[in-house]
Structure 1
C-alpha cells in the first residue's frame, strides 16, 4: 500500500475527528433525530426483521435512539464486540443502558456472544464510518474490523454507513481491502448508491 495513500487517509481521519468534537449539542441532537428517522424508514421499507448496528462513540452520529426504536418494534439487533484477532463477535441488543468498554475504549453490548458468523443471518447491516464518497467507498477508522467482516461474507445484505452531512464527499482514497457500502445515512438524506 502506498505510503502517501495511508498518510492521506490518516490526515482525513484526524480532520474528521476534530470537526466531530466541535459539533454543538443542539446540532448533534437534531442530527440524531433525523438519522433515527431515516433508519426507521430504511428498516420499514426493506421489511427488516434482524439487523446489525453498533453503539456509537461520543463523537459518532448517535445510534441509541434507533436501537431503542428497533427493540420496541420487535426487530432483533446484533451489536459488534471487538476481538484481539481482528474479527467481530456479536451480541443481541437488550435495550438496557448497560454497556461494556471494549478494545480501544469502544462501547460494546453486554450479553452472550454469538460468534463471528452470527452476522450472516441479518437482513441489513448498519456500520460506522469516518466518511463515505459518492461511489459507495467507505472509510472507517483504520482498524479494519468491518472491512474484514464484510469481505468474508459470501452473500451479504445491504450495508449502510452513518455519517454527518459534511462526511459524504465526492471521492475518497481507496485501498484494495476497503469494502463498499450499499448506501449512506446522513442527517439530511438516505441515499442508496
Structure 2
C-alpha cells in the first residue's frame, strides 16, 4: 500500500513538474503579480512580524517580490538552508543575496540560526507541488518541510504557495505528510479547517 502511494506521488509530481515547465511566460508573469498581492494581504491580515519563507526556484511561484515587500515593511524574514541530515537551518535573508545550496536550490547568504529559529515565525510559507481541498500538501519528495513542521511544538499558520490548477480534490497522502492551514494562489487565499 505505502509503495502504491509513493508511486502515485512520483507520477503526480512528474505531471505537475511538466505542467510548470511548459506554462507560458506571460501566464507565469501575471500569476506572480497575484502571488505577491495575496502573500502581502495574508501577512498583513495575520500581522506576521517574522515570516519564514523560501527562495523560489525558476519553476516555482516567485516569492522574491513578496520578500522585498516584507523587508521594506520592517518584517523579519527567515529563509531555509537544506542540510545533509534532512533538517533545515534558517538564516535571515534579504531576498536578493543568495547562493546555490544543496540540490542546486537557492539559499540565503548570512549567519546560520539553526533549526529552532523557525519557532520565532508568525507565519510559515512553504513550497508545494499540489495541495488538496482538505489541506494535504504534497511537496517535491525530500521531506524537509514535513520534518520541520512535524517537529514543532507550537506551529504558527502554515500556507503552501501553488498555482490555481495545483489545488486538487485529492493528493496521495502518507503518514509523515504534514498538513497546511491554507494555500495561496495567484487568485485567492484558501483556509482549511482542521
Normalization by structure 1: what TM-score? 0.98
Alignment of 1:112-127 (within 5 A): 112-127=111-126
Pairwise CA RMSD: 0.8
| Moved beyond 6 Å, runs of 4+ | none
Alignment of 1:121-136 (within 5 A): 121-136=120-135
Aligned partner of residue 70 in structure 1, secondary structure: helix
Within 2, Cα distance between the matches of 1:3 and 1:42?
A: 37
Within 2, Cα distance between the matches of 1:130 and 1:53?
A: 16
Within 2, Cα distance between the matches of 1:151 and 1:5?
A: 20
Count of residues paired in the alignment: 192
In the TM superposition, what is the alpha-carbon distance from 1:116 to its structure 2 partner?
0.2
Within 1, Cα distance between the matches of 2:57 and 2:102?
A: 13
The answer to whether 1:174 aligns with 2:165 is no
Within 1, Cα distance between the matches of 2:53 and 2:70?
A: 11
Corresponding residue for 2:152?
Answer: 153
Aligned partner of residue 18 in structure 1, secondary structure: helix
Within 2, Cα distance between the matches of 1:186 and 1:120?
A: 25
Corresponding residue for 1:14?
Answer: 14
Within 1, Cα distance between the matches of 2:76 and 2:97?
A: 17
Alignment of 1:66-77 (within 5 A): 66-77=66-77
Question: What 5-or-longer segments of structure 2 have no aligned partner?
Answer: none
1:128-166 Cα deviation digits (max 9, x unpaired): 000000000000001000000000000000000000111
Corresponding residue for 2:191?
Answer: 192
Corresponding residue for 2:34?
Answer: 34
Within 1, Cα distance between the matches of 2:26 and 2:16?
A: 19
Corresponding residue for 1:143?
Answer: 142
Within 2, Cα distance between the matches of 1:22 and 1:178?
A: 27
Aligned partner of residue 150 in structure 1, secondary structure: helix
Corresponding residue for 1:183?
Answer: 182
Within 1, Cα distance between the matches of 2:2 and 2:85?
A: 24
